[in-house]
Structure 1
Amino acid sequence: MVEQRPWFNVCCHLVLVLGIVLVALPVWVALMATTHANGDFGTGAPLWFGELGLSVFRNLFTSSTHMSSSAVPVSRMLLNSFIMAICITIGKLVISIMSAYAVVFFRFPCRMLAFWVIFFTLMLPVEVRIMPTFEVVSDLHMLNSFAGLTIPLIASATATFLFRQFFMTIPNELIEAARIDGAGPIKFFFDILLPLSRTNIAALFVITFIYGWNQYLWPLLITTDTHYYTIVLGIKQMLDVNDGVVEWNKIMATTIIAMLPPVLVVIAMQKAFVKGLVDSEK
């Protein structure tokens, strides 16, 4: 029986409310900034609605957002970010689940060595190997292309490890039953393993989608053509104004828009995401 402690409950709720305020306050300030003219930012960040309303959002999608020496619509940057995020996500899931399947269910020489080589790449993130990766992408003529944006970020040791750990919990009786029923490796993979891995796939889909959507350093290095700018990179470029006024209301509006797709993905897959992270079978 849990002892009732009113003061402890009050303190927990206060901490929770404080955490919500700390997280939501920057978003609220950004939303309020979109409703004010640029001249209103001289006295500090606005905390209430201004006279512009939602007109800034409407202007972002009906005209071009000027960045540096060219103009790129926000809709184009959103499309680039979506293509990059979804390609990275699908690529990571496909490669990781197939490599984990091979390591767990097939017997071949040096299979564990292959797994540990994959696992050790966790110590070599993109930021560490960024120069040789850039040179390879450049030699393959993949600069300013979606292939260059996505392929170097597809491999994932973390997802491979998580799928391997889950596959190792599959009972041998299930494997033997599938073999007796005549299920070959491909049928076993598609008809048994994939349905059992739904929650794991959902959890990793959310994580990798957000990872791909928030990429900044890699697109900054390999894209010189503004037509391949992602939304995160575009926000940074909007701040680089040589002569003129920084349009804070447009920047804040673009920031709000950039936050919406990851939030919608988390909301849409919330149940499966949570279950995939806390499932007792893993």
Structure 2
Amino acid sequence: MKYLFAALLAGGLATACTTPAAPDDSATLAPVEAPATEVSVATFDYASVFGQDDRPAADYEQYDIRKSKDVLTFTGILPGMTVLDLEAAGGTYTELFSRVVGDSGKVYMQNPPAFDAFLGDAVSKRVDGRLANVTPVRAPFDDLSAIPDGSVDVTTWLLGPHELWYTPEGAEPGALGDPDKAFAEIARVTRPGGQFIVLDHMAPVGAPATTGGETHRIDKAIIISMAEANGFTLSEESDLLANAEDDGSLNVFDPAIRRKTNRFLLKFTKG
């Protein structure tokens, strides 16, 4: 369990959550227009958001391990966009997204209530008085009602989809959300033409979805199938974090493979 807690506190290596200072998750937010920007992925300087500043020191320790600059580039997030960071944990990637989208953009920092105990006040420390364009959303994966229909340009779920089949200690089964309803919610909030980015630990091909609650891995075929069933098309795949030496049998927190797992990175486009 100590490995799970450490990963959560680092900001989502496997999953995470916390309680924001005083978020009003029931508030109805005005729809956000598609970003009016002429900046392209080819010209945006993603390295510019990795400079030393007041963010937690642990972020800088994670960037190389996670290949965060390359992952960020893969997302295609640009200034002015609205981003949903699912299972944001302590917000290592939320911070990067916030700095990319800038004052004219918005980032929803989502974490399920069932993970409150793991991160304590990590979200409020990340956001309060720092990231004005970030809105914490404390809700299970299958209830994103705080986010308007079709308002999100890019939805990210980094090292998290497997959690739909995981039950945190002390929680009821299904506390994180129903898998089918969760993907339907992702489709609802993502605008037509918008992107859905998925990064997760690869399970052996053909492994059942329940593996997600056992070794914290998932067969990417399951994610592709569920995304496609909800109107997404796989548009790009990267082997950036692939590791052919990982056979997918070990729990991702096993010291023999931790931070060296075979991970898939997918980009879907909503039709």
| TM-score normalised by L of structure 1 | 0.22
More helix by share: 1
Larger RCO (CA under 8 A, 6+ residues apart): 1
User: Which one has a larger percent strand, Structure 1 or Structure 2?
Assistant: 2
